[in-house]
Amino acid sequence: MTEDFDRHNTKMAKKKAARDKIMATKTEEKGLIIIHTGKGKGKSSSAFGMIFRCIAHKMPCAVVQFIKGGMNTGERDLIEQNFGELCEFHTMGEGFTWETQDRSRDIEMAQAAWAKAKELILDDSRRMVLLDEINIALRYDYLDVAEVRDWLLANKPPMTHVVLTGRNARDELIEIADLVTEMELVKHPFRSGVKAQAGVEF
Amino acid sequence: MTEDFDRHNTKMAKKKAARDKIMATKTEEKGLIIIHTGKGKGKSSSAFGMIFRCIAHKMPCAVVQFIKGGMNTGERDLIEQNFGELCEFHTMGEGFTWETQDRSRDIEMAQAAWAKAKELILDDSRRMVLLDEINIALRYDYLDVAEVRDWLLANKPPMTHVVLTGRNARDELIEIADLVTEMELVKHPFRSGVKAQAGVEF
């Protein structure tokens, strides 16, 4: 058993040396374009997790919610009540489009949200701006993907992280992103009759 | 254009009807076993996102960090300084195992973390307990996966959510989980020399 442990420790020492060597080459700091997409859970909640990390580090940040006016109210209340001076919060959408059934209003909302997003991103005192569910607005062509891509490439301040969430991220954005994660659904309790629950879904 | 909009609105109305019908069958509330795994980002940050949702809803909760003593310090500080009365926080691990190179100490730490986790879960006033990076401890056999599975099945209070994070989730746990998400890495900036950054990684 002691021999096993020694072997393990030696292996881990090698792993550490290899890892340290790799990490030593990672020296650059820059503002990233980050995308969370896929059908699984965690796209918005991990983006909010990063917003809370920013808040923890006293880094000014902001959130624009593009679509789901009705959800993620938990995070909004928590941020507005406790950390409003560090994190501006704008909810522009009015629920998913199948709730509103009014495409022209959806487009207006998405355009207003994008205008606000641009304003927030341009102020480089902010270190992270979360564009929550913007991918949905792009998928339904409420926003022009080429315009969003070109604007980000031309105007995002170098140290600002911009996080874009939502299913079906457009290829045009994936191409310019630095960090892309696809949340894959492996198992979901809705399938067995469990409803959306506080703490988990909202 | 108006015709297009009408067609869109009709389509969305149908979508809403279908969705409402499905959602009406989702009536059960229960405490879930939730797993975040995969090589992508967002496993821990989305779990912390859920913890912040619980805090927002004033639901008592708790976090046990099994492995990464050195990371996720942002969340810990934020929670301890602002929401300590709602969310107990225990950091038991001392960095990844290749940092410590001491298997027997790692096992001791993991066992102590699991003992604390059981105590926290058994108190059913808590609605969510996050076992952060427990999958790493299970993968290296610092904990016995059959014991963890059997204990959760036998003892988890019915309304308590238990969230288990980390790469390489064991099949034994995926089998008993209600909600499993795999975070897939699509693009990562480490590949191009960017280092771990505050707000994004910790």
| Rounded Cα–Cα distance for residues B127 and B54 (Å) | 8
Q: Average per-residue pLDDT in chain B?
A: 86
In a domain, B79, yes or no: yes
> Is A159 within 8 Å of chain B by CB?
no
**Residue B22 — pLDDT band, cuts 50, 70, 90?**
low
In a domain, B21, yes or no: no
Written as six digits, the tokens of B118 are 């059981």
In a domain, B3, yes or no: no
In a domain, A73, yes or no: yes
| Rounded Cα–Cα distance for residues A33 and B35 (Å) | 26
In a domain, B56, yes or no: yes
Annotate B95-121 with DSSP letters as a single string.
S-HHHH--HHHHHHHHHHHHHHHHHHH
| Rounded Cα–Cα distance for residues A73 and A16 (Å) | 42
> Is A28 within 8 Å of chain B by CB?
yes
* Beta strands in B29-178, from DSSP E residues, in sequence order: 33-37, 61-65, 87-91, 128-132, 161-165
Radius of gyration of chain A, Cα coordinates, nearest whole angstrom: 20
| Rounded Cα–Cα distance for residues B201 and B198 (Å) | 6
Sign for the pseudo-dihedral over CA of B115, B116, B119, B121: negative
Q: Please judge whether B184 and A182 are an interchain contact, meaning their C-beta atoms are less than 8 angstroms apart.
A: yes
- Domain count within chain B: 1
Q: Please judge whether B42 and A44 are an interchain contact, meaning their C-beta atoms are less than 8 angstroms apart.
A: no
Q: What is the DSSP letter of A5?
A: H
Other CB atoms closer than 10 Å to residue A141's CB: what's the count?
Answer: 11
> Is A77 within 8 Å of chain B by CB?
yes
Other CB atoms closer than 10 Å to residue A66's CB: what's the count?
Answer: 30
Q: Please judge whether A195 and B23 are an interchain contact, meaning their C-beta atoms are less than 8 angstroms apart.
A: yes
CATH number of the structural domain spanning residue A147: 3.40.50.300
Q: Residue B97: pLDDT above 70?
A: no
> Which chain B residues are within 8 Å of A178, Cβ to Cβ?
187, 189, 192, 194
Residue type, position B5, single letter: F
Q: Please judge whether B52 and A78 are an interchain contact, meaning their C-beta atoms are less than 8 angstroms apart.
A: yes
Q: Which region holds residue B57: left if phi is over 0, alpha if psi is between -120 and 50, else beta?
A: alpha
pLDDT of residue B173: 95
Q: What's the rounded mean pLDDT across residues B161-175?
A: 95
Q: What's the rounded mean pLDDT across residues B93-110?
A: 73
The gap from C-alpha B165 to its chain's centroid, in whole angstroms, comes to: 5
> Is A189 within 8 Å of chain B by CB?
yes
First to last CA, chain A: 47
Angle CA B31–A190–B46, to nearest 5? 65
Q: Please judge whether B179 and A197 are an interchain contact, meaning their C-beta atoms are less than 8 angstroms apart.
A: no
Of the candidates A42, A84, A47, which has an alpha carbon nearest to the alpha carbon of residue A65?
A47
**Which 3 state secondary structure label does DSSP give A35?**
strand
Query: Considering chain B, what percentage of its residues have pLDDT values greater than 70?
Result: 84
What tens digit of pLDDT does each residue of A121-167 get? 999 999 999 999 999 999 989 999 999 999 999 999 999 999 999 99
Name residues of chain A where pLDDT drops below 70.
1-5, 19, 22-27, 68-72, 93-101, 189-193
Q: What's the rounded mean pLDDT across residues B57-68?
A: 91
Beta-carbon pairs below 8 A across chains A and B = 249
**Which 3 state secondary structure label does DSSP give B88?**
strand
Query: Considering chain B, what percentage of its residues have pLDDT values greater than 90?
Result: 57
In a domain, A197, yes or no: no
Q: What's the rounded mean pLDDT across residues B16-43?
A: 81
In a domain, A202, yes or no: no
Q: Please judge whether A16 and B98 are an interchain contact, meaning their C-beta atoms are less than 8 angstroms apart.
A: yes
Q: Please judge whether A55 and B40 are an interchain contact, meaning their C-beta atoms are less than 8 angstroms apart.
A: no
| Rounded Cα–Cα distance for residues B32 and B116 (Å) | 19
Tell the burial category of B94 from Cβ atoms under 10 Å away from its Cβ (0-12, 13-18, 19+). Answer: middle
> Is B33 within 8 Å of chain A by CB?
no
In a domain, B170, yes or no: yes
Mutate to test the interface with B, among A22, A39, A53 (most CBs of B within 10 A): A53
Measured between alpha carbons, how far is residue B87 from residues A130, B74, B106 in Å? 25, 15, 25
Structural domain containing residue A60: 31-192
